Amino acid sequence: MTLVRRATGDDAGVLGRLLHDFNTEFGSATDEADVLGARFAGLLAREDVVAVLAEDDGAAVGFALVVLRPAIWFDGPVSHLDELYVVPGLRDRGTGTLLLATCREVAAALGSPEMHINVDEVDADARRFYERRGFGNVEDGTDWRMLCYVGPVS
């Protein structure tokens, strides 16, 4: 049975390994798991960062990372789902849904009225997953898409 819980600083190494596995699976550039674990340790010490961990019979099988930021258009913070990963052998069994639901519950409890997620346009599986759970990139009555631009700060 898969259980999902809020991660603590003690989980930083496991989260680093999972993120490394995620990046490696999809051919993304990645730091080593121990470097990522150290970053998770720093992030999890912050009040505006939430990680949740899925475990199946005590083994880590997925995680999600949410960052909260202040926003001028809400009284509470906007939550941004930075990462959501489930190990390949356990996909399509509800683990991702549990991770996302837990993130939404924690974000709502922290006063966030809205969650943002960036998804690669070509990633049809991820888009379908989020759309089935109420997320969308098209406003009602319009045909425009929200785009995310990325660039250097200097």
39-48 tens-digit pLDDT: 999 999 999 9
List, as one string, the DSSP characters of 33-78: HHHHHHHHHHHHTSTTEEEEEEEETTEEEEEEEEEEE--TTSSSPE
Confidence of residue 138 (pLDDT cuts 50, 70, 90): low
Q: Give the pLDDT confidence score for residue 20 in this predicted structure.
A: 98
- Does the pTM surpass 0.95? The reply is no
**Inter-axis angle of helices 33-44 and 12-25, to 10 degrees?**
130
- Does position 120 have pLDDT exceeding 80, yes or no? yes
The size of the chain, in residues, is 154
Flag whether pLDDT at 139 surpasses 90: no
What is the average pLDDT across 59-82?
95
Answer yes or no: is pLDDT of 68 > 70: yes
**What is the gyration radius of the CA atoms in the chain, in angstroms?**
16
| Average pLDDT of every residue of the chain | 92
**Which domains are delineated in the chain?**
2-119 (3.40.630.30)
pLDDT at 148 over 80: no
**Token pair in block for residue 134:** 């109420």
Pick from 21-25, 94-98, 140-144, 145-149: least confident? 140-144
